[in-house]
Structure 1
Amino acid sequence: MASANKCVVYVEPGKVSVETIEYPKLELPEQHRKCNHGVILRIVATNICGSDQHMVRGRTTAPKGQTLGHEITGEVIEAGRDVEFIKVGDLVSVPFNIACGRCRMCKTGNTGVCLNVNPARPGAAYGYVDMGGWVGGQANYVMVPYADWNLLKFPDKDQAMEKILDLTMLSDIFPTGYHGAFTAGVTTGSTVYVAGAGPVGLACAASCQLLGASVVIVGDMNKERLQQAKSFGCETIDLTASGDLPDQIAQILGEPVVDAAIDCVGFEAKGHGQGASEAPATVLNDVMSITRVAGKVGIPGLYVTGDPGGIDENAKVGQLGVKMGLGWAKSLSFTTGQTPVMRYHRQLMMAILNNKIHIGKAVNATVIPLEEAPKGYQDFDKGAAKKFVINPNGLIKQTTPQ
């Protein structure tokens, strides 16, 4: 029996609201075709993401009424006829990128650019502009297609609920941070620079430690977020202070370069120094300048092809002043794009369940009810050093990560 379904919806730049939307059907968006391979979830946890904030700030082409939410963990309450291995009652993590499991990209593990789930371009996501029209999951209920392929079932529901504030990070920011670190070549003994101490940057820094880095340096302009990075053993650089980044790196490491660097900021980057204005190529140029020759750069930070609020005509179409010659001269390697969550989420789940990492503590998971989502967006936009976890159905009992 259908229940009321409320969802966070984009209203206008700087404003979201919680509105009643249609209860999900086992039906493909905009096609009105039966989705027998899908399930409907009662959502246990769904998180506010920095990518959502880009839309809410008016920095994408998102229309009024865009549903929000691509970080989803939930319980299966209905399964389509063709779902074989996921069962009603299963507690599952939902990769933010939707994938069919059948196309050339999915078969090679590139689930972030599935060819069959978005008529406009490769790749799709829940509740995101230009990502296929899929309804967002900052809601009570949501429909997930290709369930047998997409969903990661937690082996023990009681154990999972005890770890839910860690496991909810598997839908996006933990695999995204890990992907940034892994593709940058972080390994035993690596020295690493992570640009950005937002939730993805903090998740990346924790991932670097999990991968065995000897020193992880996090740079940001937000003192509260830098303090959060320090709380689990990172070195930090306050980018509002004077001084060149290589010199600041040298003060920590004794040399002005790192083995690996990761851009966890994206296209709304600012320059350095107190009161610095937006300069979208800053972080890309920074990471090239401080990565050792023949090193690797991970770029999980979001870059877009359409930015109405861009600082100039080039920035509005994603054309930035990147020092490509520097990257070429240093023989650097770059990895960009949506993280293929399914490449990592199972092993990261096992790391959480076996207490090898406490990702919820690292990103300061903070639980809020669905009706407080608008305030959560406001606080996050002001730079709160928190990862807001929405508890839409009141199923999360603990307030801090275990």
Structure 2
Amino acid sequence: MPGNKAVVYKEPGRVEVESIDYPGFVLKDGPGVNPDNVGRECHHGVIVKCVATNICGSDQHMVRGRTTAPAGLVLGHEITGEVVETGRDVEFVKVGDLVSVPFNIACGRCRNCKEGKTGICLNVNPDRPGSAYGYVDMGGWVGGQAQYVMVPYADWNLLVFPDRDQALAKIRDLTMLSDIFPTGFHGCVTAGVGVGSTVYVAGAGPVGLAAAAGAQLLGAAVVIVGDLNVERLAQARSFGCETVDVSQGDPRDQIEQLLGVPEVDCAVDAVGFEAHGQGSDSGTERPATVLNTVMDVTAAGGAVGIPGLYVTGDPGASDEAAKVGSLSIRIGLGWAKSLSFATGQCPVMRYHRQLMQAILHDRVQIAKAVNATPIPLDEAPRGYREFDAGAARKYVLDPHGVVSGSAAA
């Protein structure tokens, strides 16, 4: 049995790469594991050798100490890998399959799964609907920023790539299917993006850039990305987006300069609860700023997709209300404009096969759009530091040297 190393959250601002147990098909007790999940048998699962496992902005919230994540939690929910062992009840997935692992853990049996709502599965997390690998309050499933990880309900959850060599040649793109590409795309779909749409995407981090690429794939006429970070705005412009620097003032005014009108058809919030203010207030955290901005710049009758993360517990919030997820949003403005809103985890399985096809047949270059940057697993602490400092990159951890050695390298 091989060893296993993983990225472990130690305390706010610090992660380390440590040796952990090789995964098995029975859940063990550990940091963040719900007691009702301890001893749970997962013979429907597989062991995956992680070919690529990415650092996500959602991980960064935990590492900053902005959630109730416990020390010792193994991180990582963006997993692409090779199946190296199957549980006794696995029927269709085979050893040797190269697969994408949706970050949502879903049973495939409950009402929500059967309705395609895999982000809020009722059977995998005793705390609440919905689960994910290596994430706070998500049931305690061990994370996949590791050499090996167990994936439950494998026949249901896994997306098997049809051709191994073709997949390895595009592995930097395909690793985005586990989360950020479907998540950004979901934000656009729920916002009603279509052919000829004008779209405002708040946030030029990886999810925002993925949303912008998704909007282009859906046929948007103009995609405008707003952020404070000039390097990330330059990355958005590198694949044809317009940009607004929100540190320079109200996005509404800058949108009017671009479009001739101050509103767009559709908007996507790809920032979430650690949002900052705009203009002279851009150095101050204002958690409701983006939500209020997207309502302001979306035309009456439009829709807003909100894939950006909002939490029910934020110990680092600036006021008592925000610590429990209560924000001062202008719901009256949204009501007056008859806006529609869509929130919550992206149900990855709703989109990942179609987006895989778009990648494999050269309809989109998502790795280029988000500036995918492979680094060894042992360099994960550096990746976290640089990402937290605002690097215009999507860090792809490469535990076995496959990504750096692939045809895409």
SS at match of 1:347: helix
How far has the Cα of 1:172 moved from its partner? 0.1
Aligned residue in 2 for 1:256: 262
Consecutive aligned runs of 4 or more in structure 1 exceeding 4 Å deviation: 398-402
Question: Contact conserved, 2:10 with 2:72, CA < 8 A, in 1?
Answer: yes
Aligned residue in 2 for 1:335: 342
Matched, 1:280 2:279: no
After TM superposition, the structure 1 = structure 2 runs for residues 183-194 of structure 1, keeping only pairs within 5 Å, are 183-194=190-201
Q: 2:122 aligns with which of 106, 111, 115?
A: 115
Question: Contact conserved, 2:13 with 2:63, CA < 8 A, in 1?
Answer: yes
Aligned residue in 1 for 2:31: none
How far has the Cα of 1:398 moved from its partner? 4.5
Aligned residue in 2 for 1:98: 105
Deviations 1:71-121 (A, max 9, x none): 000100000111111000000000001000000000000000000000000
Q: 1:346 aligns with which of 340, 353, 356?
A: 353
Aligned residue in 2 for 1:310: 317
How far has the Cα of 1:397 moved from its partner? 3.1
What letter is aligned with 1:133? Answer: G
Matched, 1:208 2:208: no
Matched, 1:245 2:244: no
The whole-number CA distance in structure 1 between the counterparts of 2:179 and 2:199 is 21
Q: 1:395 aligns with which of 392, 398, 402?
A: 402
Name the CA shift for 1:401/1:320 in 2 (closer, same or farther; >3 Å): farther
Q: 2:367 aligns with which of 360, 365, 374?
A: 360
How far has the Cα of 1:240 moved from its partner? 1.1
Question: Contact conserved, 1:270 with 1:279, CA < 8 A, in 2?
Answer: yes
Question: Contact conserved, 2:127 with 2:137, CA < 8 A, in 1?
Answer: yes
SS at match of 2:247: coil
What letter is aligned with 2:257? Answer: Q
Deviations 1:178-201 (A, max 9, x none): 000010000000000000000000
Question: Contact conserved, 2:169 with 2:407, CA < 8 A, in 1?
Answer: no
How far has the Cα of 1:338 moved from its partner? 0.3
Aligned residue in 2 for 1:320: 327
Aligned residue in 2 for 1:24: 23
After TM superposition, the structure 1 = structure 2 runs for residues 49-198 of structure 1, keeping only pairs within 5 Å, are 49-198=56-205
The whole-number CA distance in structure 1 between the counterparts of 2:404 and 2:71 is 33
What letter is aligned with 1:253? Answer: L
Name the CA shift for 1:267/1:393 in 2 (closer, same or farther; >3 Å): same
Q: TM-score, normalised by structure 1?
A: 0.98
Name the CA shift for 1:341/1:101 in 2 (closer, same or farther; >3 Å): same
What letter is aligned with 1:39? Answer: V
Question: Contact conserved, 2:168 with 2:406, CA < 8 A, in 1?
Answer: no
How far has the Cα of 1:3 moved from its partner? 1.1
Contiguous gaps of at least 5 residues in structure 2: 29-36
Count of residue pairs brought into register by the alignment: 400
The whole-number CA distance in structure 2 between the counterparts of 1:15 and 1:294 is 44
Q: TM-score, normalised by structure 2?
A: 0.96
SS at match of 2:94: coil
Aligned residue in 1 for 2:9: 10
Deviations 1:17-54 (A, max 9, x none): 00111100012354323311000001100000000000
CA RMSD, 1 decimal: 1.1
The whole-number CA distance in structure 1 between the counterparts of 2:361 and 2:352 is 14
Contiguous gaps of at least 5 residues in structure 1: none
Matched, 1:42 2:49: yes
How far has the Cα of 1:399 moved from its partner? 7.8
Question: Contact conserved, 2:62 with 2:69, CA < 8 A, in 1?
Answer: yes
Question: Contact conserved, 1:69 with 1:126, CA < 8 A, in 2?
Answer: yes
The whole-number CA distance in structure 2 between the counterparts of 1:96 and 1:320 is 27
Aligned residue in 1 for 2:33: none
SS at match of 1:356: coil
The whole-number CA distance in structure 2 between the counterparts of 1:250 and 1:399 is 44
SS at match of 2:378: helix
Question: Contact conserved, 1:165 with 1:400, CA < 8 A, in 2?
Answer: no
Aligned residue in 2 for 1:269: 275
The whole-number CA distance in structure 2 between the counterparts of 1:120 and 1:235 is 41
How far has the Cα of 1:346 moved from its partner? 0.2
Identity of aligned residues (%): 71
SS at match of 1:78: strand
SS at match of 1:240: helix
Question: Contact conserved, 1:365 with 1:401, CA < 8 A, in 2?
Answer: no
SS at match of 2:315: coil
The whole-number CA distance in structure 2 between the counterparts of 1:246 and 1:217 is 11
Q: 1:299 aligns with which of 294, 306, 309?
A: 306
What letter is aligned with 1:6? Answer: K
